[in-house]
Structure 1
Amino acid sequence: MKTSATVSKKIRIPLTLAALIASGAASNVSAAEVCNDGLWADAMIGSYHVHPKKHFDQFNPGVGVECWIAPQWALAGGYFRNSLTAPSFYGGGVWAPEFAHWGYIRLAAMGGLISGYDYGKWGIGHDHKLGPVLAPLIMAEYGRIAANIILIPPIPSSDLPFTLGFQLRVKFW
């Protein structure tokens, strides 16, 4: 059994690192200079698991940010409570090519690292709880409001099936 001090330490370390990186980046350049194609706040809402005989938590609250550094490229990171009711942190990139853009709808792919699941042999770290993710997504955008639907591949060592993740987004600039 994990103590609250152990869980708190696991959460505090990534948050401290993120704050240090953000403060260091902010001292040299402004977010508007780096995110010149848009800065979005993401709210993770929930998920749907393609597995009728097993229970997963479908309500997955969380927050994140997307920093669009070019029209087709973004850096993304954030936190949510995953379907196993564990904290998950993610970070990586988004590629949204222009050839997959039709009006308000855009197809994209995101890749990076995510924590909070048992990745088995694919995991990083002593407990294998940090692992790679590569997922297609559908982006719907209208002005400063948008939504993402993410198709998260299965994680067999955590017995997780294909999952659809749902995010709402708001653009700051």
Structure 2
Amino acid sequence: MKTSATVSKNIHVPLMLAALMALGVTSKVSAAEICSDGLWADAMIGSYHVHPKKHFDQFNPGIGVECWVSPQWALTGGYFRNSLTAPSFYGGGVWAPEFAHWGYVRLAAMGGLISGYDYGKWGIGHGHKLGPVLAPVIMAEYGRIGANIILIPPIPSSDLPFTLGFQLRVRFW
């Protein structure tokens, strides 16, 4: 019988491998060529849950990466400790259209897969702990520093309400 820790590791391994392959560097292609419009490190800081009568962990440390393959498209992936104090891994894409860009601020949409929650019928894998996410993002950047505010939709099967996630960003190139 598998323990929940073993099942959790088994779910995260394919997601981590997919993120590494998406951002992977082969002997013929460098990361600078793949991420030609910038490589950012994201530090997940915390969250705010729109639910006054239930307790969630608002401190959600984690680390991630954004690989901008064009001015409007990025690959993203990372890890954080979620609001239920479980490990979460994510991977997907970011679309930041030029028409939603004003000076230092732009609107974007992030979509992909995230682990660590009970997704019920929408979940993938054992225990339905891997599921889809589509979220609007407010991105601000000035030079090599920035911040993201992500509006994460509710996950009813985990009893999670709308949540605002907060990330700090640092650009490597």
Cα distance in structure 2, aligned partners of 1:16 and 1:136: 23
Work out whether 1:130 is the aligned partner of 2:121: no
How many pairs does the alignment contain? 172
Residue by residue over 1:57-102, the C-alpha shift from the partner in whole angstroms, topping out at 9 and shown as x without a partner, is 0000000000000000000000000000000000000000010011
Partner of 1:152: 152
Partner of 2:162: 162
TM, length-normalised to structure 2: 0.91
- 1:99 is paired with a residue whose SS is helix
Partner of 1:83: 83
Partner of 2:62: 62
Superposed structure 1 runs of 4+ greater than 2 Å apart: 2-28
Partner of 1:71: 71
- 2:146 is paired with a residue whose SS is strand
Identity across aligned pairs (percent)? 88
Structure 2 gaps of 5+ residues are none
- 1:53 is paired with a residue whose SS is coil
| Closer, same or farther: CA 23–111 of 1 in aligned 2, 3 Å | closer
Cα distance in structure 2, aligned partners of 1:14 and 1:165: 24
Contact in 1 for aligned 2:11/2:115 (Cα 8 Å): no
Q: 1:170 Cα deviation (Å)? A: 0.2
Cα distance in structure 1, aligned partners of 2:153 and 2:19: 30
Mapping of residues 5-154 of structure 1, within 5 Å = 6=6, 9-10=9-10, 13-14=13-14, 17=17, 21=21, 25-154=25-154
Residue by residue over 1:114-144, the C-alpha shift from the partner in whole angstroms, topping out at 9 and shown as x without a partner, is 0000000000112100000000010010000
Contact in 1 for aligned 2:23/2:67 (Cα 8 Å): no
Equivalent AA in structure 2 for residue 146 of structure 1: G
| Closer, same or farther: CA 98–164 of 1 in aligned 2, 3 Å | same
Cα distance in structure 1, aligned partners of 2:19 and 2:57: 29
Cα distance in structure 1, aligned partners of 2:129 and 2:95: 25
| Closer, same or farther: CA 83–65 of 1 in aligned 2, 3 Å | same
TM, length-normalised to structure 1: 0.91
Q: 1:20 Cα deviation (Å)? A: 6.5
Contact in 1 for aligned 2:116/2:129 (Cα 8 Å): yes
